[in-house]
Amino acid sequence: MASTRQDALRRRSVTWIVSLATVGLVFDGYDLVVYGTVVPLFLRDPGQLGEVTPAVAGALGSYALVGVLVGALLAGSVADVIGRRKVMLTAYAWFSVGMALTALATTTAVFGLMRFVTGIGVGALVATTGALVAEFAPAGRKNLANAITYSGVPLGSLLAALLAILLLDAIGWRGMFLIGALPLVTLLPLAYLKMPESPAWLASRGRLDEARAVAARTGVAISEARAADVPTAESVTAQRAGFAGLASRTYLLPTVLLGLLSATGLLLVYALNTWLPELMGRAGFSTNGSLAFLLVLNGGAVLGALVASRFADRYGPKHVVAGSFLLGALALALLTVSLPLGVLLAFVAVVGLGTSGTQILIYGFVATYYRTNVRSAGVAWCAGFGRLGGIGGPLIGGLLIASGLALNSIFYVLTALAVFGSLLTLVVPKAESRTAPSARGGGLPTPTPAPSERLVPTAE
């Protein structure tokens, strides 16, 4: 009976945590695509912010991503030290206020500045969410839990496209950005009440009484700690936390490769989410028809990532990510063929899996790759360094369009990038030595601690 109550308590806690984290990333995805939905308006109507050329539009799209890079790296510096919860609550407030102030901009300079400021909050959130979810998710379900959570990004993108179709003419671009400020009065209060600190993080900082208290309150499993999570004098020296730990011999090479992998994925994500409506408009589709492609793109990303994450939990995420990239490359290449509308939409959905969906899988890959005291820094590095690709996405898209390159050639460039992402995934080394996987085959297993180390409750 007690075990049943404990299981029910844990399920309820994990449901709250995953739900809140997902809603937070919905607004990240909304922020990503809401700009893409108003770019055609800026290009055609100088009365909105002044004259906006394709090159200027690409630059404005990139300012937010520079902020995301800064925010992610800052969060990685502190989330492994002060905790995941504090960083996430601050991020919710920060990007909400930023979206509200962006809606008040009257010039491209102010608009770009506020996009940068908003991006800092978004980056801090993306960098921290994966670590918290991975530390509460049950073994064998970590990739699935992260896939559900990071599906919030394409869901938010889908929401932005849908609301633009329904509301843009009525409320204008300023109203669209004000919608992005709603977490300040909705999500933030709920998260303050319902989102606990990670017991695994508390234990890794030596705060064992607090870890046990949170574990009891949330119903998380009490299991043997990993040696890396026991804060002894020896482990402090031998296994450094945060970014210092990423620079160790164990993690340096894979961290560089995972950062490049994330950058490739985000280049594709931001290029398509910023410029797909414009590209499809040039292919002859109406404004609403072009926005509908964004709905299909991000819908395919959500469904594809949720299905693929189950394979990632069972067989490991590495080859699933590589295969997802390849599927995206194939679908991008087929967009250059004259196809019936229904078939074209199906291929756009597969492109969603191979770009935004693959990026979801990458976050799960990274969150389960690192040990607890460097996990937040690892996710932050991939979210932050990866934003270099995100910054390049809108810029490269704008430059390709401004150069007059043929539409098919633009899709071939994106195809080559997806193939590169697949090849890059395959050269990421295996994670540090661990014991055999669980019988269910889920995720990365943990090393067996010495008897003297079997002291700490964790959420893993």
Over residues 264-292, the mean pLDDT reads: 78
Residue 460 pLDDT class (50, 70, 90 cuts): very low
DSSP 8-state class, residue 357:
I
Of 91, 57, 176, 128, nearest to 377 by C-alpha is 128
CB-based contact 440:140 (threshold 8 Å): yes
> Which amino acid is present at 358?
T
Per-residue model confidence (pLDDT) at position 230: 43
pLDDT beyond 90 at 116: yes
Q: What percent of the chain has pLDDT over 90?
A: 24
Average pLDDT, the chain: 81
Residue 1 pLDDT class (50, 70, 90 cuts): low
* CA angle at 68 for the pair 79 and 146, rounded to the nearest 5°: 60
Alpha helices, H only, 45-141: 54-82, 84-102, 108-136
Rounded distance between C-alpha atoms, residue 456 and residue 297, angstroms: 44
Using DSSP, state whether 137 is helix, strand or coil.
Answer: coil
Of 234, 251, 231, nearest to 243 by C-alpha is 251
CB-based contact 355:122 (threshold 8 Å): no
Question: Tokens 């933030």 belong to which residue?
Answer: 188
Angle between helices 317-334 and 252-282 (to 10 degrees): 20
Residue 456 pLDDT class (50, 70, 90 cuts): very low
Question: Tokens 């590095």 belong to which residue?
Answer: 381
CB-based contact 58:394 (threshold 8 Å): yes
pLDDT beyond 80 at 352: yes
Rounded distance between C-alpha atoms, residue 59 and residue 266, angstroms: 16
CB-based contact 178:98 (threshold 8 Å): no
Token couple for 40:
């055609």
Q: Where are the domains of the chain?
A: 2-431
Residue 312, phi then psi, degrees to nearest 5: -65, -40
* pLDDT tens digits for range 4-50: 777 778 888 888 999 999 999 999 889 877 887 888 888 888 878 88
- The answer for residues whose C-beta is within 8 angstroms of residue 343's C-beta and 6 or more apart is none
Token couple for 179:
């919608």
Q: What percent of the chain has pLDDT over 70?
A: 87
Architecture of domain 2-431: Up-down Bundle (1.20)
Rounded distance between C-alpha atoms, residue 128 and residue 378, angstroms: 10
Q: How far is CA 404 from CA 39, 338, 365, 399, in A?
A: 18, 21, 38, 9
Of 352, 335, 346, 361, nearest to 413 by C-alpha is 335
